[in-house]
Amino acid sequence: MFLKPFRVKKQNTLKGSDRKKMKGEIGKLYNIPEDSLNELFPTKGDMSMAKIELHSGDIAFLYTCQKNPVFFEINKKMFPTVYSLWKCPDMLPVFTTWPQVFTKLVVGADLMLPGVVINGPVHMGTFRGIKKGDIASVKLVGNRAPVAVGETLLSGEDMYLSAMKGKGVKPIHMMGDLLWELGDQSEPPHLSDDINIEGDGESEDDSDGDDKESDNEDVPAIEKLTVHDNECKGATAAVSDSENSESEEEEEGEDPKKVMDELLDYCCLCALKAKVKKSDLPLSTGIFFKNYLQPYCPQGKYIDIKKSSYKKLSKYLQTVESKGLLKIKQMAKGMDSIVEIDKDHLELRDLQVPELVIQPTEGSEDDFIPPVISDVFCIPSNLLPFFKSKNYSKGRGLVADEVRQFLTDYVKENDLQDPEHKGVIKIDPILGDVLLRKNENDSYLKWEVAKSRLFEKLQPAFQIVYPGKPPILKKGKVDPIKIDVVQRSGNKKVTLIDNVETFGIDPDKFAHTIQVKRACSTTVNPSIQKNKGLQIMAQGNQVDFIQQLLLEKYKIPVRFIQGLEKGTTKKKKKR
């Protein structure tokens, strides 16, 4: 799950109370003694929680302590990382396997039961207490320190009844993946293992045969390991063709940095030849990389500039500039832009550019259907006698036309229209309780006065109808989307956006759109006002772009947007 890149959406430092609460929950969940808990959660050192989006699109929560990931939560299940398991190796049920098998797990294979090393013969109690979907760890023969954590794919009883055949554990996180790289990338400690591997060949699959008899006496270390196909036969599940090809390339000794450099060159040349137009110049280098270069990355691969020999985008583009393909100029402090491209360059002439197919992402702005918001008026308890004929209950919401029509029907049904003056109505006892004020004894009122006083007695509210959902009635007035530009440390300005959730807009997707289109950093955090939802913060003054986004993409009426006057575009005064 962490073999492919993930994205950090937001990160917060945990308070002391939250840290203490999590420590107690982890201790109860895994029955960890107090000494081990203190080692996992030291009193000194920062601890933070990050919301991350996995490559599959799932959302997970990652907890780090002293810059090392210690736990992560996926689908309301809390998993320890290998860094935590090295401090408390007996936290989870453990499966033992061979170092040869682990080399297959790191490319995405599941741990098969034939590859599990059992101390003694297999019997009904070998996997006692294990249920399907339980969290388990994986260690190697000769060392108690786990190297992977995952979920069991069978119950302990099913493992025994299957004669130790089939899938056993699905790895979710392991030493060497991107989550492990997020920490200090330390190696597992050597913890003595008392497992007896003599005669373990009887509990292995027959396909392993006599090839492991010589290996049982001396288990090789991972870094000194030589993998033979006959030693791992039946021990791991099949891996996809792309992963097999990648592992074959690594075994052949191909430098991964060289592979990433070639991928960068290919995508860059395709973007320069087919996607970048003269009208796009000058073009920010960050926008060029994200919106022009990355779309040409072949399916199943990804571009990570840090895994290339260049390490930084600026250094790579300097190399491209030295070839004469483009020219880069610093338009502002810390902002480089492409100002010229040589379309007649030799490297671009014979390049065959693939057809770029852009698939709309789920939940894009083009698919957004805005909610229908209408002003309504709720019936208070003192007006129930007036609305008795319709059997309206207290709190029932009526639009303005329904209120006017009801008053007109009431006047006609009770013959309260003055025959001589059409603009005047008679006041009966029920209307008098509703429309007349204290110390008023008028027998007649004008239509306009009667309507305005009736609206005054009703409670203002609004109704929101989201697509495919029942109407939602809320009292009071609609809180508009509030946009504000504030100045932070130095002369830096940030744009704050509040209350987009009321209008059915996802704050994370809205912030991501601003980040991509404006090439600026954005964050989503809880609003400083209690129970006011989430607040979006964007670097710089982005009011003009946000106005365009809300009006054109999200179809939000102008009357529900506050703070548009703080944009940088000033309207010309009429002479």
Average model confidence (pLDDT) across the chain = 81
Of 167, 168, 20, the residue nearest 95 (C-alpha):
168
Contact criterion met (CB below 8 Å) for 561 and 517? no
Contact criterion met (CB below 8 Å) for 483 and 545? no
Q: Is the pTM of this model over 0.85?
A: no
Q: In what order do the strands lie in the sheet with 481-487?
A: 522-526, 534-539, 493-498, 481-487, 561-562
pLDDT for residue 535 is more than 50 = yes
How many other CB atoms are there within 10 angstroms of residue 551's CB atom?
Answer: 14
Rounded to whole angstroms, how far apart are CA atoms 541 and 546? 10
How many other CB atoms are there within 10 angstroms of residue 210's CB atom?
Answer: 7
Which of the four pLDDT bands, split at 50, 70 and 90, describes residue 542? very high
pLDDT for residue 538 is more than 80 = yes
Of 184, 56, 53, the residue nearest 509 (C-alpha):
53
**pLDDT tens track for 192-225:** 776 555 444 433 343 344 443 434 444 444 433 3
Of 459, 458, 550, 455, the residue nearest 500 (C-alpha):
550
Q: Which two three-digit tokens encode residue 396?
A: 């029932």
**pLDDT tens track for 114-132:** 999 988 888 878 888 899 9
Cα→Cα distances 503→222, 368, 463, 494, Å: 55, 11, 11, 23
pLDDT for residue 324 is more than 70 = yes
Higher pLDDT, 74 or 391: 74
Rounded to whole angstroms, how far apart are CA atoms 53 and 56? 8
At residue 251, the pLDDT reads 42
Q: Which two three-digit tokens encode residue 427?
A: 């006041």
Look at 5-19, 135-149, 361-375, 521-535 and tell me which has the smallest mean pLDDT: 361-375
pLDDT for residue 553 is more than 50 = yes
- The residues, any chain, with a CB within 8 Å of residue 574's CB and separated by 6 or more, are none
How many other CB atoms are there within 10 angstroms of residue 409's CB atom?
Answer: 12
